[in-house]
Amino acid sequence: AQTVTQSQPEMSVQEAETVTLSCTYDTSESDYYLFWYKQPPSRQMILVIRQEAYKQQNATENRFSVNFQKAAKSFSLKISDSQLGDAAMYFCAYRTLPENYGGSQGNLIFGKGTKLSVKP
Amino acid sequence: KAGVTQTPRYLIKTRGQQVTLSCSPISGHRSVSWYQQTPGQGLQFLFEYFSETQRNKGNFPGRFSGRQFSNSRSEMNVSTLELGDSALYLCASSFTGSSGNTIYFGEGSWLTVV
């Protein structure tokens, strides 16, 4: 079974600085998707960034980028120029590819999350 | 384009009662899945529906059930509520097929069992 581990329960960063959140996962599959979701106090899960395992190039979305190391099964999130609005819980998630015959689109397996605080 | 809509947003139930939560996916999305979030267990997958059929199920007791309608809207039901069922229930939808596989979440339904 796949597992996702986030080893940092809490992190803190100064406004405008850079912070990296760690995530490792375990799987025997060769193709899959990885995601980072942000959950602010409103509790809505907001997609931050996604990475397809077959792509070697690391995904980037504005101030957010990932360091995807497939062999090491590592998927860290880097937030540059941190802003107060970045303060939230961040969840790393793994998703398998859709099944051809069973029809499942694949469910998400989440890590326990990292609480990020941003200091002004 | 409207996001994933969940109703009700907040509810309080008594132990032993049953509850039904509703979810309307993003227009065009045919896959709907449900997750339970608690402080102790984190985010856990409940079940997934696609084309009105349950395609995948997490490790939850039979008291948890769901269904999907022809318009892709979904409901989940919890019978004989227990205190431990108090949680945030998140519904998520995704487009099916090769053109995208990102899951989008609703704002959740807060269930408190007293």
At A2-48, the pLDDT tens digits run: 899 999 999 999 999 999 999 999 999 888 889 999 999 988 999 99
How far does the CA of residue B95 sit from the closest CA of chain A (Å)? 9
Test the B interface: residue of A96, A105, A108 with most B CBs within 10 Å:
A105
Which chain A residues are within 8 Å of B48, Cβ to Cβ?
A: 104-105, 107
* Mean pLDDT of all residues in A86-91: 97
Distance CA B47, CA B53 (A): 11
Give me the amino acid identity at A15.
E
* CB contact (8 A) between residue A35 and residue B103: yes
Tell me how far the alpha carbon of residue A33 is from its chain's centroid. 10
For residue B82, give both structure tokens: 């227990």
CB A30 within 8 A of CB B98: no
DSSP SS3 for B94? strand
pLDDT (tens digit per residue) in B34-72: 999 999 899 999 999 988 999 889 999 999 999 999 999
- A101 interaction partners in chain B (CB closer than 8 Å): none
Query: From B108, which residue of chain A is nearest by alpha-carbon distance?
Result: A44
Residue B99 has pLDDT above 50, yes or no: no
If you average pLDDT over residues A45-70, what whole number do you get?
93
Residue A105: pLDDT band with limits 50, 70, 90:
confident
Which is higher by pLDDT, A49 or A1?
A49
DSSP-derived secondary structure letter, B40? T
- pLDDT digit string (tens) for B2-29? 799 999 999 999 999 999 999 999 998 8
pLDDT of B97 above 60 = no
Residues of A near B (Cβ–Cβ under 8 Å) read: 33, 35, 37, 42-47, 50, 91, 95, 97-99, 102-113
Average pLDDT, chain A: 92
Residues in chain A within 8 Å Cβ distance of B106:
44
Mean pLDDT computed over A45-71: 93
Quick one: pLDDT at residue B51?
87
* Chain pair A-B, CB pairs under 8 angstroms: 67
